[in-house]
Amino acid sequence: MTRPIVFFIDDEPNILQAILRITRHEHYQVATFEDPLKALAGMATREVAVVVADQRMPVMTGSEFLEKVRIQYPNTVRMMLSGDAEIDSVLSAINKGKIFHFIRKPCGDDDLKSAINEAIKQHFLIVENNRLTELTKRQNEELIELNKNLEKKVEQRTRKIKQKEFQLKEALEGTISAIALTVETRDPYTAGHQTRVAELSCAIAKEMNLSPDQTEGIRLAGAIHDLGKIYVPAEILNRPGRLTNIERELIHVHPQVGFDILKDISFPWPIAEIVYQHHERMNGKGYPVGLPGEDILLEARIIAVADVVEAMSSHRPYRPAPGIDLALEEISNNKDILYDADVVKACLNIFAEKKITLKGWMG
């Protein structure tokens, strides 16, 4: 198996020499560049799994370099290694380069190697996800071609169409599973949270008498609604205490990041839009856009309620669970303000009539 390639770009030669020393015995190959333009040229000749760029460089900033990498080589995982802790630089790297990890100088040897290994795993997940997406696209095209002659060959083609539909469903499920695994490798608490939100969202959808097809779309969206948190450092997600303004801004980016990852995948449901809107609120004071009321997809309004109830019902590394009673009190007190009243009513009915089990939630 070919060794993964990692590029480091920094205008300080001593930094690059230290990186070569630190990584000389690792399972991946490291190439260093003082000039980001030469690094871009090098990426044209081989597949690069990870790039790590400094922010302040004379030719172009790290944010500008990572943005070019994102556009030209989207499969390459992007990270920033910099002593520049200003919020504008961090947000620029997040928004332009969609970085996977921000590492502040000075960084310990083990921390740096751990971040690189994590990024390499992310690269392989992206490649696998692309393969599954392409498989889904090809099967969609095949299914459309079959349907053109459906009226003439109904009896002959029925069995083959059903087989293709089954394969398409398997491919979609595989795509969702691969995406969910992406989150699980970063943060097992988030992964368990998504599974339980999907379960509660489905129960709410059934209580509201939504169609099985719409309910299935809600289940899949709930299973990956926090996908964008793969771009938020795990130490921020699980850190106890109050978040800084920079850390809060990083977390608030995750619906946009999730949308960007999912928007080009051909799902039968508006999965990307649901993920994008799941932190919007009825009074228009949610994020990332501030959509009000009926402008928010019903599916997103359902996941929003399930998200809050699950989060308050489960323990996290940084705090004990407030409990299900306080969670239900929260959504009840804020119906028609933050949460859809019909969705709240359905959720309260589910717990009042014990239509869902809390097994595995308190942990």
Residues annotated as catalytic (active site), given as ranges: 229
- Taking the C-alpha atoms of residue 178 and residue 171, their distance in angstroms, rounded to an integer, is 10
- Taking the C-alpha atoms of residue 145 and residue 131, their distance in angstroms, rounded to an integer, is 21
Judge whether 279 and 308 are in contact, CB under 8 Å. Answer: no
DSSP secondary structure, 42-68, as one string? HHTSS--SEEEE-S--SSS-HHHHHHH
Query: Which residues are CB-neighbours of 130 under 8 A, at least 6 positions away?
Result: 75
- Taking the C-alpha atoms of residue 360 and residue 363, their distance in angstroms, rounded to an integer, is 6
- Taking the C-alpha atoms of residue 348 and residue 190, their distance in angstroms, rounded to an integer, is 24
H helix intervals, the chain: 13-23, 36-43, 62-72, 87-97, 109-148, 154-186, 188-207, 212-223, 234-237, 245-252, 254-262, 271-277, 298-313, 324-333, 341-352
Judge whether 180 and 128 are in contact, CB under 8 Å. Answer: no
Structure tokens at 288: 């990332």
Phi and psi, residue 10, nearest 5° = -155, 140
Judge whether 229 and 278 are in contact, CB under 8 Å. Answer: no
* Residue with token string 């060794």: 3
- Taking the C-alpha atoms of residue 239 and residue 251, their distance in angstroms, rounded to an integer, is 12
Judge whether 4 and 48 are in contact, CB under 8 Å. Answer: no
- Taking the C-alpha atoms of residue 231 and residue 228, their distance in angstroms, rounded to an integer, is 6
